[in-house]
Chains A and B, each alone.
Chain A
């Protein structure tokens, strides 16, 4: 299955700032997703990153807060904008690839907002 690299692996940020998380995959993939996992909680889908077009957001998530880019079949970014302590979470990139046809996750980016 695809190998996913996320950067940064963790960061501590100040309230009101923005942080961009990068997701790089070692092979071309069909679909890329961004999930949020709050401390001790389940995984919640933020959006589907569509190549060459605007991301598709789930209910409760908006583009102004979580802008997403996907310029090609192997790379995507998620920005967490105007952060507040409530945004402290693990943000996970996930992909489905052409071959394995399973949903694979990166190790996640642990974000702490002070």
Chain B
């Protein structure tokens, strides 16, 4: 099922720094690209999502950059905070959600 490749597997960033997580997909039929945030003991929660008609979407400190030709997208977390420490999953699907494919996940640690 793995059609979305995510890197890095783990990331350590100092407080106030920029966290960058990258994903690449294979299926050109995908048209919805969300990022999920998961804290220990909790289910994943939608953080931000983008569709391929735009190249960038920003919500607060979180930005998705999307490169359709390269079939890549990335999550940027500006001014990273210790509370951002979590596992982040990128995903991709066709609009119906019944084929959401997740990346392997990135464990982010933000050091105070």
- Which residues from chain A sit less than 8 Å from chain B, CB to CB? 1, 4, 31, 33, 41-45, 48, 56, 58-60, 92, 94, 96, 102-108
Q: Which residues of chain A have C-beta atoms less than 8 A from B36's C-beta?
A: 105
Q: Given that A45-B99, A105-B44 are known contacts, is A59 also in contact with B104, CB under 8 Å in the complex?
A: no
Contact check: which of B41, B96, B97, B104 meets A42 at CB < 8 Å? Answer: B104
Nearest-neighbour CB distance to chain A for B5, whole angstroms, equals 11
Q: Which residues of chain A have C-beta atoms less than 8 A from B103's C-beta?
A: 42
Nearest-neighbour CB distance to chain B for A39, whole angstroms, equals 12
Give the B interface residue count (CB, 8 A).
22
Q: Indicate the member of B2, B34, B45, B46 with the most A CB atoms within 10 Å.
A: B46
The contact string, 1 if C-beta is below 8 Å from chain A, for chain B 44-84, is 11100100000000000000000000000000000000000
A107 touches B105 (CB 8 A): no
Given contacts A42-B105, A45-B99, A104-B45, could you give 11 more A-B pairs where the C-beta distance is less than 8 Å? Answer: A31-B96, A41-B105, A42-B89, A42-B104, A43-B44, A43-B89, A58-B1, A103-B34, A105-B43, A105-B45, A107-B41
A-B residue pairs, 6 tightest by C-beta = A105-B43, A43-B102, A42-B104, A42-B102, A107-B43, A96-B97
Q: Given that A102-B46, A104-B46, A107-B41 are known contacts, is A31 also in contact with B105, CB under 8 Å in the complex?
A: no
Nearest-neighbour CB distance to chain A for B46, whole angstroms, equals 5
Instruction: Name 28 interchain pairs, CB-CB below 8 A, sorted by A.
Output: A1-B46, A31-B97, A33-B97, A33-B100, A41-B105, A42-B102, A42-B103, A42-B105, A43-B44, A43-B102, A44-B102, A45-B99, A45-B100, A56-B98, A58-B1, A92-B43, A92-B44, A94-B43, A96-B97, A103-B46, A103-B97, A103-B100, A104-B45, A105-B36, A105-B44, A105-B45, A106-B43, A108-B42
Contact check: which of A33, A44, A102, A106 meets B1 at CB < 8 Å? Answer: A44
Q: Which residues of chain A have C-beta atoms less than 8 A from B34's C-beta?
A: 102-103
Q: Indicate the member of A48, A56, A60 with the most B CB atoms within 10 Å.
A: A48
CA distance A31 to B93 in the complex (A): 14
